[in-house]
Amino acid sequence: MRPDTAGAHVLSREECIGLLASAPIGRIVFTDRALPAVQPVGFCLDGEDIVIRAVEGSAVAATRDAVVAFEADDFDSRTRTGWSVTAVGYARAVSDPVEIARLSALPLTTWVPGGGTLFIKIPAELVAGRCIRH
Amino acid sequence: MRPDTAGAHVLSREECIGLLASAPIGRIVFTDRALPAVQPVGFCLDGEDIVIRAVEGSAVAATRDAVVAFEADDFDSRTRTGWSVTAVGYARAVSDPVEIARLSALPLTTWVPGGGTLFIKIPAELVAGRCIRH
């Protein structure tokens, strides 16, 4: 870890992936009708790819074939410590039935009933993370 | 509240502002060198405007004069309940000394040492929120 210009510590790619794997929820960041948009989603990692499930026709489903960011964090407001990790990658919808069957077996929780049948994968092409420790 | 297409409940503007006011941290969503970007920040509300502090020269400081999204949420992974609120507005840097003096008195915590001297205001022009209750 090394300090960044804002006084936090810069995390390595390996640390970032480990922290992403520990997070129960993340946030997909995209553009929706020319406006910046963000939505919390359940997710899991498949290797270093982020996997989410989306409802067909939803704004999240429309992120397929776009460059998106994906963020997870955990902060403790009492100790004022925490971390955040952001991955950026080209989202794609999974269409291969063999891959869909494999992803269906992952421990991927969705937070709303139904939860969506469309699998979207976001490879963590760029990863950046910071942590604050006092 | 009314259910949305994804099974969550849609929050009113008043509920959204109240939940934003309760959150210790939020996330500013913007574009950085043509890529989607997101960064957690301490913030507070000034009426219905989101106020953050940024370090001059940082990516967050560069969001002035851009349309940004601002998101806060709180989820309980045990009960699988929670809420999220997103505001969209035109970010501007505060330059009026009288307004800077007034904003300096707000209970605005920054998480990193230093924390930035530039005040940025994001009016909550568009607000949307959802909650999940089982």
Average pLDDT, chain A: 91
CA-nearest of B46, B43, B47, B84 to B63 is B43
Residues 6+ apart with CB under 8 A from B46: B103, B106, B121
**A123 falls in which pLDDT band (50, 70, 90)?**
very high
Out of A67-71, A118-122, B75-79, least confident range: B75-79
pLDDT in tens, B93-125: 999 999 999 999 998 877 766 678 899 999 999
Record the tokens describing residue A132, joined without a space: 């604050």
| Cβ neighbours of residue A106 closer than 8 Å, sequence gap 6 or more | A44, A46, A51
User: Do the Cβ atoms of A84 and B39 come within 8 Å?
Assistant: yes
B106, HSE (Cβ side, Cα atoms, 13 Å) = 22
Cβ atoms of A97 and B53 closer than 8 Å: no
Closest residue of B to A6, CA-based? Answer: B112
pLDDT given for residue A47 in this prediction:
95
Task: Please compute the mean of the pLDDT values over residues B10-29 and round it to a whole number.
Answer: 96
CB of A61 within 8 A of CB of A116? yes
pLDDT for position B115: 72
Class of the CATH-defined domain B2-132: mainly beta
How is chain B split into domains, by residue range? Answer: 2-132
Nearest chain A residue (CA) to B8:
A112
- Position A7 scores a pLDDT of 67
Per-residue model confidence (pLDDT) at position B3: 61
Element at A119 (helix H, strand E):
strand A118-123
* pLDDT at residue A98, as a whole number: 97
Q: Flag whether residue A20 sits within 8 Å of chain B, measured between CB atoms.
A: no
Query: Which pLDDT belongs to residue A101?
Result: 95
- Residue of chain B whose alpha carbon sits nearest to that of A132: B112
Kindly tell me if the per-residue pLDDT of B2 is higher than 80. Answer: no
When CB atoms are compared, the residue of B36, B71, B113 closest to A88 is B36
- Answer whether A100 touches B (CB < 8 Å): no
What's the pLDDT at A102? 95
pLDDT tens digits along B41-88: 999 999 999 999 999 998 899 999 999 999 999 999 888 899 999 999
A107 vs B88, more confident:
B88
